[in-house]
């Protein structure tokens, strides 16, 4: 490739990147001031910069900031950011509360999966007939159920931290239930991806062989690769009398991360699953998690993740809603998502002995989808299961469910916990 052409493309990418970072940061601060998690602002920034808003009034501006020649490089940066983010999410998983196996955790998480799945099964046939009769029916219905059932553990964690609820019994219960929901959701998404990728050539025997290989790989990660990396980390800490990354270990870690991503891609599921699984394999080493958080977490969240949000926004076209049926469907998807997750988790927690306020608070927290929901939706689009209208519906659902979490939680928190929440 011509060096001058590369330099010109780089300049365009940097301009777009500057706009993305600035918009995400400003909208994140604005949302924080009105009691919303910064993630809502970051998603909103992506939507504002896309064809749904700025593109309607100043399409030439959008074309200038995001010309066609940088869409490929930005998409690659977004994918890289997603890999690092999912690795980080995996490391941040805290399974300590799951050992308690409390009735509330199990009941809330189980109903938090089953109720949205039921809602998805109820509306998916109509959505398919009305908006996507040409798309694979089975894959579409499967995806709708998964998109409605998934929660966003990282965003929930940020909300709990901002509201000073992370060390409360309620916070621990919600985090634990969400961890189970997310784990099940990612398993479902991985299985669905494998099934859909086989398409018309699907047969049970090769599929079960593929699932067996994936399970085997995850076991190897947890039992062999993870412990070896932790051993190498402890050795470098001892040898250098430090708990920060040395260049040698950092090279080893990034090689392991990218190899894991490549392997899951080769096994027929998306590369992000490999990054997430490796993170989970390392979550039990607090000093390693802390070192990553201190050195890379802010960079990933500030510089890379917003590209993913903006890329999503650039593909979101509210203008594709050209009739009342589309708007009705959008409202229906959002209503079913909120009712399924909120109602299911609340009833599950209530049956296990929680008060109504505690149950509603857990349901409100579990209703947030944000990052994880957006990832699932983008996976659906990459698999060819969503057209522009459906993609936009689910993006709006994701944004609404996340935006309603804070207000609902503030309204339903038990009185003894309201005192902890900053005003």
We report the CATH number of the domain holding residue 221 as: 1.20.1530.20
Asked, for residue 56, whether it belongs to a domain, the answer is: no
What is the rounded distance in angstroms from the CA atom of residue 309 to the CA atom of residue 19?
Answer: 13
Asked, for residue 20, whether it belongs to a domain, the answer is: no
Asked, for residue 310, whether it belongs to a domain, the answer is: yes
What is the per-residue pLDDT for 422?
Answer: 66
Q: Record the tokens describing residue 263, joined without a space.
A: 């392997």
- Start-end of H helices in 244-369: 247-266, 271-281, 286-292, 298-299, 305-314, 324-351, 356-366
What is the per-residue pLDDT for 44?
Answer: 80
Comparing 256 with 369, which gets the higher pLDDT?
256
Residues 6+ positions from 66 with CB-CB distance below 8 Å? 16, 49, 74, 314
- Cα 408 off chain centre by: 21
Number of structural domains, the chain? 1
Give me the domain span that covers residue 128: 76-418
Average pLDDT rounded to a whole number, residues 83-108? 74
Asked, for residue 67, whether it belongs to a domain, the answer is: no
Asked, for residue 59, whether it belongs to a domain, the answer is: no
Asked, for residue 42, whether it belongs to a domain, the answer is: no
Degrees to nearest 5, angle at CA 280 with 258 and 376: 75
Mean predicted lDDT score pLDDT of the chain: 84
Asked, for residue 22, whether it belongs to a domain, the answer is: no
Asked, for residue 60, whether it belongs to a domain, the answer is: no
Q: Which of 85-99, 133-147, 230-244, 270-284 has the lowest mean pLDDT?
A: 85-99
What is the per-residue pLDDT for 94?
Answer: 59
CB atoms within 10 A of CB 410: 14
Indicate if the pLDDT at residue 98 is higher than 60. Answer: no
Q: How confident is the model at residue 189 (pLDDT cuts 50, 70, 90)?
A: confident
Query: If you count DSSP H runs as helices and E runs as strands, how many of each does the chain have, helices first?
Result: 21, 0
């Amino acid at each position: 490739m011509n060096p001058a052409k590369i330099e010109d493309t780089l300049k365009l990418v940097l301009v777009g990147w500057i706009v993305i970072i600035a918009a995400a940061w400003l909208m994140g601060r604005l949302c924080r001031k009105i009691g919303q998690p910064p993630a809502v602002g970051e998603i909103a920034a992506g939507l504002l910069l896309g064809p749904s808003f700025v593109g309607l009034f100043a399409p030439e501006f959008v074309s200038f900031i995001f010309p066609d020649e940088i869409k490929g490089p930005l998409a690659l940066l977004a994918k890289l950011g997603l890999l690092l983010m999912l690795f980080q999410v995996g490391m941040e998983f805290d399974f300590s509360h799951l050992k308690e196996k409390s009735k509330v955790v199990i009941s809330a998480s189980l109903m938090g999966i089953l109720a949205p799945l039921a809602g998805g099964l109820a509306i998916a046939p109509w959505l398919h007939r009305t908006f996507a009769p040409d798309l694979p029916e089975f894959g579409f219905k499967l995806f709708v159920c998964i998109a409605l059932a998934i929660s966003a553990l990282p965003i929930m964690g940020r909300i709990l931290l901002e509201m000073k609820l992370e060390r409360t019994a309620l916070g621990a219960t919600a985090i634990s239930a969400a961890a189970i929901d997310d784990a099940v959701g990612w398993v479902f998404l991985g299985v669905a991806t494998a099934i859909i990728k086989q398409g018309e050539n699907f047969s049970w025997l090769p599929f079960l062989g593929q699932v067996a290989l994936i399970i085997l790989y995850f076991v190897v990660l947890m039992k062999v690769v993870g412990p070896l990396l932790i051993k190498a980390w402890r050795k470098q800490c001892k040898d250098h009398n430090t708990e920060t990354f040395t260049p040698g270990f950092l090279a080893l870690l990034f090689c392991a991360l990218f190899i894991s991503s490549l392997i899951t891609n080769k096994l027929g599921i998306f590369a992000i699953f490999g990054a997430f699984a490796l993170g989970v394999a390392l979550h039990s080493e607090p000093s390693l998690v802390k070192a990553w958080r201190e050195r890379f977490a802010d960079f990933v969240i500030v510089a890379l993740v917003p590209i993913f949000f903006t890329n999503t926004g650039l593909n979101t076209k509210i203008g594709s809603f050209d009739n009342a049926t589309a708007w009705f469907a959008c409202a229906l998807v959002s209503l079913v998502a909120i009712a399924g997750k909120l109602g299911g988790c609340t009833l599950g927690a209530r049956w296990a002995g929680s008060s109504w306020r505690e149950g509603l608070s857990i349901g409100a927290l579990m209703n947030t989808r944000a990052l994880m929901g957006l990832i699932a939706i983008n996976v659906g689009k990459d698999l060819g299961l969503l057209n522009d209208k459906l993609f936009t519906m689910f993006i709006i659902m994701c944004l609404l469910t996340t935006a309603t979490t804070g207000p609902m939680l503030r309204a339903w928190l038990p009185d003894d916990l309201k005192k902890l929440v900053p005003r």
